[in-house]
């Protein structure tokens, strides 16, 4: 499994560690991302030290955005029990890599079990998190391969039908027309920072 996000209370890594503490079976969890909150990270480190021997955790640290899909392609599942996402690009990137997800129901990505690409689980339902983790651990390769393929197809369908793409194209077309009408030559300048 992989957790790839900022290490902060909002992203809820500590919750992931706590539910993993209650599962049987062998799990390897790699953690990628910058530490945003040192106090919160100390709680996570303490939880890692207290995990049973069947749960192995490796802290990988920050990664560049260009590495994200390659990283996801190396794992079976993404786990992200976030307290809230307006969109959650990292979830879409997991799907693009064929990596099914275990996420909270605090994102726009819903009904994932119905689509066969993962689970969106209420944070209040710890029992369901543990049950889903058990299913992941016990899953055979054939079932997983189908789920991975569905995740990639889910991404491709979303890209083909996304209103975000059409709206972005419309935004740029409107901006270009405005510049033409004003007799200006548009220039490309980026003010977008990492993670925007």
Mean pLDDT of 107-112: 96
> Residue 29 in contact with residue 56, Cβ under 8 Å?
yes
CA distance linking residue 196 with residue 188, whole number of Å? 17
Q: What is the pLDDT of residues 19-48, one digit of tens each?
A: 999 999 999 999 999 999 999 999 999 999
Tell me which residue of 39, 23, 47 sits closest to 31, measured CA to CA: 47
Q: Look at residue 130 and tell me if it is in a domain.
A: yes
pLDDT at residue 5 tops 90: yes
Q: Look at residue 6 and tell me if it is in a domain.
A: yes
Strand-pairing partners, residue 7, are: 35
The CATH number for 113's domain is 3.40.50.2000
Instruction: Tell which wins on pLDDT, 181 or 186.
Output: 181
pTM, whole model, 2 decimals?
0.82
CA distance linking residue 3 with residue 82, whole number of Å? 11
The helix (H) or strand (E) run that includes residue 164 is helix 163-181
Q: Please return the burial class of 78, using the count of CB atoms within 10 Å of its CB with bins 0-12, 13-18 and 19+.
A: buried
Please list, in sequence order, all residues whose beta carbon lies within 8 angstroms of the beta carbon of residue 139, skipping any fewer than 6 positions away: 147
Q: Look at residue 193 and tell me if it is in a domain.
A: no
Tell me what pLDDT residue 185 has. Answer: 44
Q: Look at residue 117 and tell me if it is in a domain.
A: yes
Mean pLDDT of 97-105: 97
Q: Which domain holds residue 37?
A: 2-161
> Residue 92 in contact with residue 158, Cβ under 8 Å?
yes
Q: Look at residue 174 and tell me if it is in a domain.
A: no
Q: Look at residue 192 and tell me if it is in a domain.
A: no
pLDDT band with cut points at 50, 70 and 90 for residue 168: low
Number of domains composing the chain: 1
DSSP 33: S
Tell me what pLDDT residue 175 has. Answer: 59
Tell me which residue of 87, 84, 59 sits closest to 195, measured CA to CA: 87
> Residue 102 in contact with residue 125, Cβ under 8 Å?
no
Q: Look at residue 189 and tell me if it is in a domain.
A: no
Output 174-183 pairs: Cβ under 8 A, ≥24 positions apart. none
Tell me what pLDDT residue 191 has. Answer: 38
CA distance linking residue 116 with residue 191, whole number of Å? 38
pLDDT at residue 190 tops 50: no
Tell me what pLDDT residue 161 has. Answer: 81
């Amino acid at each position: 499994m992989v957790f790839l996000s900022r290490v902060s209370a909002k992203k809820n890594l500590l919750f992931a560690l706590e539910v993993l503490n209650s599962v049987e079976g062998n799990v390897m969890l790699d953690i990628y991302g910058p530490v945003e909150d040192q106090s919160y990270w100390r709680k996570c480190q303490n939880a890692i030290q207290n995990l049973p021997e069947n749960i192995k955790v490796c802290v990988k640290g920050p990664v560049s955005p260009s590495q994200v899909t390659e990283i996801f392609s190396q794992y079976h599942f993404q786990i992200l029990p976030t307290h809230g996402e307006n969109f959650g690009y990292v979830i879409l990137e997991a799907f693009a890599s064929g990596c099914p997800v275990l996420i909270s129901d605090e994102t726009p990505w819903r009904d994932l079990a119905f689509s066969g690409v993962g689970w969106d689980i209420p944070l209040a339902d710890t029992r369901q998190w543990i049950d889903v983790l058990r299913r992941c651990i016990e899953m055979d390769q054939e079932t997983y391969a189908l789920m991975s393929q569905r995740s990639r197809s889910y991404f491709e369908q979303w890209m083909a039908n996304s209103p975000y793409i059409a709206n972005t194209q419309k935004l740029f077309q409107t901006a270009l027309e405005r510049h033409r009408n004003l007799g200006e030559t548009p220039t490309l300048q980026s003010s977008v920072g990492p993670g925007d």
